[in-house]
Amino acid sequence: MFRGRFFALVLFAALLEGCTCCAYLNHMFNAERLYDEATELRTARLDSVPDETQSYPGSEESQKYEKIIEKGSRVLERFPKNKKRTAEAVFLIAESYRHKADWPKAITKYDEYERYFADNDSMRAVEYQRAYCLYRNQEFNISRFALEPVVADKNHPYYFQGLNLLSLLDEKSEAPEQAIAALEAVLADTSGTPYMKGKAHFRLAGLYFKMENWEKAHHHYNAKEIENLNDRERQTAGEQSAECLVNSKEYLKAADEFKQLYKNDAYEKQRAIYLVRIGETTLWAGRKADAYVIFNKVNTEYPKTEPSSRSYFNMGDYEQTKTLNYDLAMSYYDSSYIARSISEYGRKSRERRYALRSLVSMRDRNEEILQSKDSVPNMKSFFKNEFMIAELFLLKLSEADSALARLTNVIEKSDDTASVMRASYARAFIYDEFLHDPDTAEELYKEIIEKYPNTDYAKQAQANIGMRVTMKTREDEARDRYMEAESLWTVASEMPVNKMELVDSAYATAFYAFDNVYKDYPQTQSGVQALYMKAVYFQMNPERLDSAAAIYRYLRDHHGQTAWGKQAAYVLNTRLTTTDDDLAKLRKRTAKTIENLDRNSARYYEELNAKPEEKKAEIISKEDEILENTYNSMYDFE
| 3-state SS record for 304-349 | CCHHHHHHHHHHHHHHHHHHCCHHHHHHHHHHHHHHCCCCHHHHHH
Lowest mean pLDDT among 53-62, 124-133, 424-433: 53-62
- Under a CB-based contact definition with an 8 Å cutoff, are residues 335 and 314 in contact? no
Residue 599: predicted pLDDT: 86
Residue 577: predicted pLDDT: 57
Can you give the pTM of this predicted structure? 0.59
Using CA of residue 475, residue 477, residue 480, residue 484, what is the dihedral sign?
negative
pLDDT at residue 2 above 50?
no
pLDDT: is 411 or 20 the higher one? Answer: 411
159 to 34, 51, 203: CA distances (angstroms): 29, 21, 16
Task: In whole angstroms, give the CA distance from residue 365 to residue 381.
Answer: 9
Mean pLDDT of the chain: 83
pLDDT at residue 18 above 50?
no
pLDDT at residue 596 above 50?
yes
Three-point CA angle 389, 406, 330, nearest 5°: 40
Lowest mean pLDDT among 88-97, 233-242, 421-430: 88-97
Lowest mean pLDDT among 28-32, 406-410, 555-559: 28-32
Task: In whole angstroms, give the CA distance from residue 386 to residue 341.
Answer: 31
Residue 333: predicted pLDDT: 94
Residue 578: predicted pLDDT: 60
Task: In whole angstroms, give the CA distance from residue 171 to residue 553.
Answer: 69
Residue 339: predicted pLDDT: 93
- Under a CB-based contact definition with an 8 Å cutoff, are residues 58 and 41 in contact? yes
pLDDT at residue 232 above 80?
yes
Task: In whole angstroms, give the CA distance from residue 433 to residue 425.
Answer: 12
327 band by pLDDT with thresholds 50, 70 and 90: very high
Lowest mean pLDDT among 119-123, 333-337, 477-481, 526-530: 119-123
pLDDT at residue 245 above 90?
yes
Task: In whole angstroms, give the CA distance from residue 624 to residue 262.
Answer: 94
Task: In whole angstroms, give the CA distance from residue 438 to residue 403.
Answer: 18
Mean pLDDT value of segment 297-321: 94
pLDDT at residue 390 above 70?
yes
358 secondary structure, DSSP code: H
Secondary structure class of 540 (helix, strand, coil): helix
φ, ψ of residue 50 to 5 degrees: the values are -80, -25
Residues of the chain above pLDDT 90, percent: 24
Task: In whole angstroms, give the CA distance from residue 272 to residue 307.
Answer: 6
**Smallest Cα–Cα separation from 76: which of 68, 85, 67, 66?**
85
Mean pLDDT value of segment 131-157: 82
**Smallest Cα–Cα separation from 200: which of 188, 218, 213?**
188
Lowest mean pLDDT among 303-307, 354-358, 497-501, 562-566: 497-501
560 contacts: CB under 8 Å, gap ≥ 6: 566, 569
Give the 3-state secondary structure of 127-143: HHHHHHHHHHCCCHHHH
241 band by pLDDT with thresholds 50, 70 and 90: very high
Task: In whole angstroms, give the CA distance from residue 551 to residue 557.
Answer: 10
pLDDT: is 3 or 337 the higher one? Answer: 337
Task: In whole angstroms, give the CA distance from residue 366 to residue 413.
Answer: 14
**379-391 helix and 400-413 helix, angle to the nearest 10 degrees:** 160
Give the 3-state secondary structure of 474-505: HHHHHHHHHHHHHHHHHHHHCCCCCCHHHHHH
Task: In whole angstroms, give the CA distance from residue 471 to residue 457.
Answer: 10
| Number of residues in the chain | 638
pLDDT: is 145 or 390 the higher one? Answer: 390
- Under a CB-based contact definition with an 8 Å cutoff, are residues 149 and 162 in contact? no
pLDDT at residue 550 above 60?
yes
123 band by pLDDT with thresholds 50, 70 and 90: confident
Residue 634: predicted pLDDT: 39
pLDDT at residue 449 above 80?
yes
Residue 23: predicted pLDDT: 54
Q: Which helix (H) or strand (E) holds 81?
A: none
CB atoms within 10 A of CB 377: 14
Residue 376: predicted pLDDT: 66
407 contacts: CB under 8 Å, gap ≥ 6: 386, 387, 390, 423, 424, 426, 427, 430
Three-point CA angle 238, 242, 243, nearest 5°: 115
637 band by pLDDT with thresholds 50, 70 and 90: very low
* Residues 598-619: tens digit of each pLDDT: 888 888 888 777 765 544 445 4
Secondary structure class of 40 (helix, strand, coil): helix
173 band by pLDDT with thresholds 50, 70 and 90: low
Buried b (16+ CB within 10 A) or exposed e, 484-516: ebbebbeebeeeeeeeeeebeebbeebbebbbe
**Smallest Cα–Cα separation from 560: which of 546, 547, 575, 570?**
570
108 to 100, 331, 513: CA distances (angstroms): 14, 64, 77
Task: In whole angstroms, give the CA distance from residue 301 to residue 297.
Answer: 6
pLDDT at residue 375 above 70?
no
* Residues 180-209: tens digit of each pLDDT: 887 787 788 776 678 878 888 898 898 899
Residues of the chain above pLDDT 70, percent: 88
Task: In whole angstroms, give the CA distance from residue 51 to residue 206.
Answer: 12
Task: In whole angstroms, give the CA distance from residue 177 to residue 207.
Answer: 9
163 band by pLDDT with thresholds 50, 70 and 90: confident
Q: What is the dihedral of CA 622, 623, 626, 629, to 10 degrees?
A: 100
Residue 51: predicted pLDDT: 66
